[in-house]
Amino acid sequence: MIKIKFLVVGNLKEEYLRKMSDEYLKRLSKFASINIIEFKELELPKDLNEINIQKHLEKEDEPIIKSIKNEDYLVLLDLHGKSVSSEAFADIISGAIKTLRGNLIIAIGGTLGISKALLNRANFRLKISDLTFTHQFCRVIALEQLYRAFKINNHEAYHH
Amino acid sequence: MIKIKFLVVGNLKEEYLRKMSDEYLKRLSKFASINIIEFKELELPKDLNEINIQKHLEKEDEPIIKSIKNEDYLVLLDLHGKSVSSEAFADIISGAIKTLRGNLIIAIGGTLGISKALLNRANFRLKISDLTFTHQFCRVIALEQLYRAFKINNHEAYHH
């Protein structure tokens, strides 16, 4: 069975997001073995200047980067990434799985975003929307889109 | 207090979506009086050809269009609409409120989308994402973005 790792910063604080996450993990279990690994969300710097933000991101993302192997395929959620349709995202997932030597990884940063090192490691940077969502909300959106991708790739119906 | 109507097709079937909707309605009650009006979701035609789809949409959206007055400002969620940042969406909401003579309305269609008549009536057509979401999920996203718009317009902090 396909193994997919979610590397995420912080935990889901709202019960409805945990419920939604559980629901999609259950549905996804038909297609893949999903492992969600939560990394520590660091306290925000008091002074949000560019240097402090970069330091914060480097420190927050360091354990994430360390857990990614050279042969892994990394899909990174990124505000400045590429905006694609669910069908195109399904193609990216199936393409990654076909040529995969390591793990398929989906990573989501914390409140302040993503370090340059993690950005540079990404194989595909996905922009969900021009609108801003909380990173916790992005996690359930990513789970839902991954489920949708498997449904599309398996030619199964799924409502709009 | 500002009055905002949500005109939506169908109800929220999943408990986690209802919980999320309730949470944002509670938060929004600080800024506006929100009224969600659910319209009947019609059974899908068996043969999904273009003529049947258009007929279905016209019938489904007819009661929605009837409930919109000439002086209302209509924000319509539309896959082919404009993709904007949360800050730009906040500007659209504050601009609409400033010049409003009727109600501010946010409308979301059903499974098959939106009729041409409703599309033509829209003052602003908002595309949430190139990705496909269920229309039920779009409702909670719209509530969250409306809340975010008020937070932005009131210069209040809100996490990413």
What ipTM goes with this model?
Answer: 0.92
**Per-residue pLDDT at B1:** 85
Under an 8 A CB cutoff, do A23 and B14 touch? yes
Check if B130 contacts A (Cβ < 8 Å): yes
Per this entry, what is the length of chain A? 160
- Which pLDDT score, from 0 to 100, does residue B160 have? 58
**Tens digit of pLDDT for each residue in B27-42?**
999 999 999 999 999 9
Q: What is the phi/psi pair of residue A154, to 5°?
A: -100, 10
Q: What is the 3-state secondary structure (H, E, C) of B80-109?
A: EEECCCHHHHHHHHHHHHHCCCCCEEEEEC
CA distance linking residue B142 with residue A150, whole number of Å: 26
- Distance from the Cα of A23 to chain B's closest Cα (Å) equals 9
Question: pLDDT per residue over A106-153, tens digit each?
Answer: 999 999 999 999 999 999 999 999 999 999 999 999 999 999 999 999
Note the pLDDT of residue A158: 75
pLDDT of residue A159: 62
* pLDDT confidence band for B157 (50 / 70 / 90): confident
Query: Judged by CB atoms within 8 Å, which residues 68-127 of A form the interface with B?
Result: 83-86, 89, 111-113
| Band of residue B158 on the pLDDT scale cut at 50, 70, 90 | confident
Cβ neighbors of A72 (< 8 A, separation 6 or more) are A102, A103, A104, A105
pTM of the model: 0.94
Burial A141-156 (b: 16+ CB within 10 A, else e): bbbbbbbbbbbbeeee
Residues with Cβ within 8 Å of residue B124, at least 6 apart in sequence: B73, B74, B75, B76, B81, B82, B92, B96
Q: What residues of chain A score a pLDDT lower than 50?
A: none
The whole-number pLDDT of residue A1 equals 85
Q: How far is B89 from chain A (nearest CA, A)?
A: 8
Burial class for B159, CB neighbours closer than 10 Å (0-12, 13-18, 19+): exposed
